[in-house]
Structure 1
Amino acid sequence: MNKLKIYTTRGGWAMLLLALLFTACKKDDHFIGGSPTNDHTPMTTYDYLKANPLFDTLILLIDKAGLKETVNSDITFIAPTDYSIKTFLAIRTLQLQKATNDENVKYTIDSLKAPELRDSLMAYMFNGKIVRSDLSLEAQVYKNKVGESFAFKQVKSGDYSDVLSAGVRYLSVAKIINGLDPDPLPDGYPDGDKDKTNILQTTGIITTTGVLHVLENKHAFYWK
């Protein structure tokens, strides 16, 4: 049975809240999705993704780019879901149809060139292990495998403050644009300089080869 459970509905949030209530004594083990009591899997990162239909398209891209061995090396992989990739392809399709004045043309996985695809996927990979216990409410900057800077941090949510006095801490990751954003953002801060931030909806899956986090479904593939 696949251990990865990603909650994106109201019912899913209710299930998550119940899980948190039962594990309230472990105040630092808060997840959006996943399980705070069983974060290890006896599978490689690649096999773990392949076993879950949420990543069918992602696996096709990994194979096309020839990155299976890289995915299974000692890295932290923040994986985009198929929703992100399919949204990206749909946007590219609309752009292509407008450029060619042909509503029948489609932008597909086959349209992606291997060099661009490799760089796009390696932007989600970080050498070594980035885990919750190494992070705090202060942003910590890591470089991905193509040399871009990203900020990881814990974020305290007050969504359930009436039930959990400690609050829920989730993880966020931000692609840094023109320097790390000040916190809080000042009024009039240029939109073009704002970091591109996403929530990690499932965190801290420890595979036999590395660490896997999963980006929220609304993430724009390659932060486009």
Structure 2
Amino acid sequence: MNKLKIFTTKAGWGILLVTLLFAACKKDDHFLGGSPTNDHTDLTTYDYLKANPNFDTLILLIDKAGLKETVNSDVTFVAPTDYSIKQFLAVRTRLLQIEENDENIKYTIDSLKAPELRDSLLAYIFTGKIVRADLSLESQIYKNKVNEDFAFKLIKSGGYDDIFSAGVRFMALTKVINGLDPDPRPDDYPEEDRDMQYTLQTTGIITKTGVLHVLQNNHVFYWK
């Protein structure tokens, strides 16, 4: 294969990868970790979530906790999806089955006590607007509505550096446990002090009332 053919082949694969990456990152007119193409909606945060079937269970929890007005105030809501809540209920079910020695017992939404549920949801809500444009690769600490420390930052993706010299940057949320972990974190860092970081799958939805980000599906509701 001559040099021209080699160059053409590499360029073709590069264009294909860019195209596939563009298609994979686009979700409901928003980019994974990037600036959305249509970041504004005339809906409130609550109504925006209610219109999306991926948040049916989350809406039930918000209603049960009586937090609709809070969600619709001037806040940043980092929303867990129904997948996150389903995983949480599965974890609680396994623990309950062990505790009661009954493999048929189930932990359901109705099992959640209102005070615990309210605090769990408030942990995802931050006063004011936290947007991608204000963030960098350095962690910035914010207090949530139950006065816990969380860090927002941008993170570089891996695997595309040969094509995207600047890399693709995603937005991440970290639950801070006993202070921010050192970077890099030593292998022998105490397990109980390790922060929990998740990438946001959708970012920067500017609703009629506030800002909405969405956690990736493998996150377990309330950081379990």
TM bucket (normalised to shorter chain) is 0.7 to 0.9
Deviation at 1:119, TM superposition (A): 0.2
Give the structure 1 partner of residue 32 of structure 2. 32
1:155 aligns with 2:155: yes
One-letter amino acid of the structure 2 residue matched with residue 81 of structure 1: T
* Distance of 1:57 and 1:35 partners within structure 2: 27
> Judging changes above 3 Å, is the alpha-carbon distance between structure 1 residues 35 and 134 closer, same or farther for their aligned structure 2 residues?
closer
Matches within 5 A, 1:139-154: 139-154=139-154
Answer yes or no: is the 8 Å Cα contact 2:31–2:37 preserved in 1.
no
Answer yes or no: is the 8 Å Cα contact 1:16–1:33 preserved in 2.
no
Between the two proteins, the alignment pairs up a number of residues equal to: 204
Answer yes or no: is the 8 Å Cα contact 1:16–1:32 preserved in 2.
no
> Judging changes above 3 Å, is the alpha-carbon distance between structure 1 residues 216 and 20 closer, same or farther for their aligned structure 2 residues?
closer
Give the structure 2 partner of residue 44 of structure 1. 44
> Judging changes above 3 Å, is the alpha-carbon distance between structure 1 residues 34 and 185 closer, same or farther for their aligned structure 2 residues?
closer
Deviation at 1:146, TM superposition (A): 0.2
Q: Deviations over 1:158-210 (max 9, x none)?
A: 33223322210001111100111111112311111110111111100000000
The farther-off stretch of 155-164 and 73-82 is: 155-164
Give the structure 2 partner of residue 196 of structure 1. 196
Q: Which runs of no fewer than 5 residues in structure 1 stay unpaired?
A: 1-12, 22-29
> Judging changes above 3 Å, is the alpha-carbon distance between structure 1 residues 143 and 43 closer, same or farther for their aligned structure 2 residues?
same
Give the structure 1 partner of residue 170 of structure 2. 170
* Distance of 1:91 and 1:122 partners within structure 2: 21
Answer yes or no: is the 8 Å Cα contact 1:77–1:211 preserved in 2.
yes
Deviation at 1:18, TM superposition (A): 2.6
1:136 aligns with 2:136: yes
* Distance of 1:80 and 1:15 partners within structure 2: 28
One-letter amino acid of the structure 1 residue matched with residue 176 of structure 2: I
Give the structure 1 partner of residue 186 of structure 2. 186
Fraction of identical pairs, as percent: 74
Q: Who wins on radius of gyration, i.e. which is larger? A: 2
The farther-off stretch of 153-162 and 108-117 is: 153-162
Answer yes or no: is the 8 Å Cα contact 1:135–1:154 preserved in 2.
yes
Give the structure 2 partner of residue 73 of structure 1. 73
Deviation at 1:20, TM superposition (A): 9.4
Q: Deviations over 1:128-155 (max 9, x none)?
A: 0000011000000000000000011000
Give the structure 1 partner of residue 99 of structure 2. 99
One-letter amino acid of the structure 2 residue matched with residue 189 of structure 1: Y
Give the structure 1 partner of residue 56 of structure 2. 56
* Distance of 2:180 and 2:131 partners within structure 1: 21
* Distance of 1:57 and 1:146 partners within structure 2: 22
1:18 aligns with 2:22: yes
- The two structures have a TM-score, normalised by structure 1, of 0.86
Q: What secondary structure is seen at the aligned counterpart in 2 of 1:183? A: coil
Answer yes or no: is the 8 Å Cα contact 1:156–1:168 preserved in 2.
yes
> For the aligned residues, what is the CA RMSD?
2.0
- The two structures have a TM-score, normalised by structure 2, of 0.86
Structure with the largest fraction of helix = 2
* Distance of 1:82 and 1:143 partners within structure 2: 24
Give the structure 2 partner of residue 25 of structure 1. none
Q: Which runs of no fewer than 5 residues in structure 2 stay unpaired?
A: 1-16
